[in-house]
Chains A and B, each alone.
Chain A
Amino acid sequence: MSEHHITPLKTYLIIASLLLFLSGVTVWVSYVDLGPLNIVVAMLVATVKASLVAFFFMHLLWDDKKNLTLFLMSLMFFGIFVTITLLDTEFRGDLGLNPEVKNPINNRAAFYDTLPLTDTHGHPVDGHSDDHDKDKDHH
């Protein structure tokens, strides 16, 4: 039914050198501090490389478009997962109940520094534990 597309060797070589070039870009860009854009650039280069492999080496470009649809669907579902999860992590404490809106995860983690030290079985190992128990009783 479907005929196999025969890709000229030239195309393979061009794509391969493009991939090598982009690997170079990844290395080069790691020496440049772009602030929060660091991760964006790195992911962008990686995505372009992965797409080149999928489209040319894995023949997605010439294949049945259903397969392309499935490939794009997987990207879409990944996008949904990340985007909606960020709706949580980026908006923690958005009712103003917690003032530390920025860096919610690290700020929450700071709470653990105030806990009494315990050994692996949960037994207290210093004098703080009594205060902690008192607090519990009040609640």
Chain B
Amino acid sequence: MSENKKQNYLNHPKGLMSWILTLDHKRIGLMYLVSGILFFFLGGLLALVMRFELAAPGNDVISNEVYNNAYTLHGAIMIFLFIIPAIPGALGNILLPLMVGAKDVAFPRLNLASFYIYSFGALFAMYTIINGGVDTGWTFYTPYSTQSSSNVVPMTLGIFIIGFSSILTGLNFIATIHKMRIPGLTWYKLPLFVWALYGTSLVQITATPVLAITMVLLMLERFLGIGIFDPALGGDPVLYQHFFWFYSHPAVYIMILPAFGIISEIIPVHSRKKIWGYKFIAYSTLSIAFIGFLVWGHHMFTSGQSVFSQIVFSFITYFVGIPTGVKIFSWILTMYKGQVSFTPPMMYALAFLFLFTIGGLTGIFLGAVALDIHLHDTYFVVAHFHYVMQGGTIVAFLGGLHHWWPKSFGVMYNQTVANIAALGVFIGFNGTFFPQFLLGLRGMPRRYATYDEQFVELHSYSTFWSGILGLSIFLAIMNLFWSFIRKNKVDPGSNPWGGMSLEWTHTSSPPHPHNFEEEPVLQHGPYDYDKVIVEKTYNK
């Protein structure tokens, strides 16, 4: 038995081939995590280069052409190589089977194939960088993208391929959630992270094919001269934007829904209180996923689309605020009268609540047509989506990493350092992006390498804090990986935060290669803090 206890998915089986050909969801999740974090650093580095260029007006650090490449690659890498694959691919893969009590995902081989398809697509993106970059912006708008001499084709081909990985992961998760739950684990007893992954997967399999179609149409026009988007050939450039945003707006929810799921796990566990409004949070996930399909035109208010559709899109956009508000208020009510402990995951969850709310509310500004015509393509938009994507998704991702780190890897990081890093992320983030709201309101357009004198103060302020933000994220990630070197192991049976879902109560840390040593039997729901007392156990 003691022999058996030491055996976990990290040390058994051994050897390089056992990793390359692994079918274990936890190992595949770990591979996604490592590659995701590498791309996160690459994208972050590009962001810092841009910020240093923008510290003063004029071309001081890089030329206009390099700047165009930098913002395109920053966007494409962060979205297509990090955020979209990383949270479902890494945390979703590691946790979903554990949370539903399964030995693995429904299709383990397909899961490994998804990872290699993702890697193959990433190679094309890397080729683009080595071959001189691409300068169209991550949206690849026509007509420029059909004419630009930069590497539009390899980049779009890479995104096309990565899309398939996304679809297959989504398919796998849906089958797992439907078919692999242990007896008694009904839909309303699932952890909310599972609901979030379910909503995300639905969006992945319904929206991503449209991205693939868009990329194919773009290539058909470039190579064969078939008129789809080029008016001279009888096409319509705005049609490209319809195609692109029909995928890319739901993709925003592919990015944010798993983050909502993480927050729904962290807050009740670290407040030791039953989640408020379980069913409302679960159904708001599905309604966000659905409404997300009806609002894509709010990215196109200045594209020349008809006023009638402007009104329709603007009107429907406001509906997104309802399920999102339901979630935010439910999380706040969950904390009310709970035993809130300021552990690193909770610090990130609190930062998320603050930052995401700002991101969401400024989205309502931008959803109003009249105001958007003024703010479109300014730094206001840049600040808004960074508050959602970084302040929301990446902060939640960091929170989730800290929350499940001892579970996934059996080691505990230095919590004081982690808290300092979390505070640094929060302050650095606000320092970087809040001035950008003001810049946008004063008319600073996005995607320019230089600017007028009047913007110097706010830009240099933003650049200064972006350095603090970069250092804090670096510190947070290094602190996590340092825990392997510190060898501060947690006891295999420990439950450091007192979590109640299956991954905390029924499997060791790090988990056994087959997840559970015996078939788990469900004793309580994931948030039953009002019924059962779960001790926090930690060997220190």
Contacts and interface: CB of A to CB of B under 8 A. Distances in A.
Nearest to A87: B309
A89 B293 contact: no
B306 interface: yes
Interface stretch (A25-33, A76-84, A125-133): A76-84
B534 interface: no
Interface stretch (A6-14, A53-61, A90-98): A90-98
A2 to B, nearest CB: 11
Nearest to A89: B236
Interface stretch (B66-74, B156-164, B238-246, B499-507): B238-246
B231 A109 contact: yes
B308 interface: yes
B246 A87 contact: no
A74 interface: yes
Nearest to A113: B232
B276 to A, nearest CB: 30
Nearest to A81: B246
A86 B289 CA distance: 22
Contacts of A80: 293-294
With most chain B CB atoms within 10 A of its CB, the pick from A80, A93, A109, A111 is A109
Given A105-B236, A106-B234, A112-B231, A77 B206 contact: yes
Nearest to B247: A81
User: By CB atoms of chain B within 10 A, which of A88, A94, A109 has the most?
Assistant: A88
A73 interface: yes
Contacts of A102: none
B31 interface: no
Contact of A92 (B206, B296, B304, B313): B304
Contact of A108 (B206, B210, B231, B296): B231
A85 B313 CA distance: 11
A95 B304 CA distance: 12
Given A81-B246, A105-B234, A112-B232, A87 B308 contact: yes
Interface string B17-51: 00000000000000000000000000000000000
A77 B306 contact: no
A89 to B, nearest CB: 7
B448 to A, nearest CB: 19
Contacts of A74: 206
A84 B312 contact: yes
B130 interface: no
A1 to B, nearest CB: 9
Interface residues of B, number: 24
Interface centre among B242, B293, B306 (most CB of A within 10 A): B306
A109 B234 contact: yes
A60 B315 CA distance: 37
Contact of B239 (A73, A89, A91, A112): A89
B307 interface: yes
Interface in B293-327: 293-294, 296-297, 304-309, 312-313
A105 B231 contact: yes
Nearest to A90: B306
B309 A88 contact: yes
Contacts of B306: 87-94
Among B232, B236, B239, B312, the one with the most A-chain Cβ atoms within 10 Å of its Cβ is B236
Contacts of A93: 306
A114 to B, nearest CB: 12
B308 A94 contact: yes
Contacts of A91: 306-309
Contacts of B305: 88, 92
- Which 7 pairs show the lowest CB-CB distances between chains A and B? A91-B306, A109-B231, A87-B309, A88-B305, A91-B308, A88-B309, A85-B242
Given A84-B309, A88-B242, A105-B231, 17 more contacts: A77-B206, A80-B294, A81-B242, A81-B246, A84-B296, A84-B313, A85-B239, A87-B306, A87-B308, A88-B309, A90-B306, A91-B307, A91-B308, A92-B305, A94-B306, A94-B308, A108-B231
18 contacts: A66-B178, A74-B206, A80-B294, A81-B210, A85-B239, A85-B242, A87-B312, A88-B305, A88-B306, A88-B309, A89-B239, A91-B307, A91-B308, A92-B304, A93-B306, A108-B231, A109-B231, A109-B234
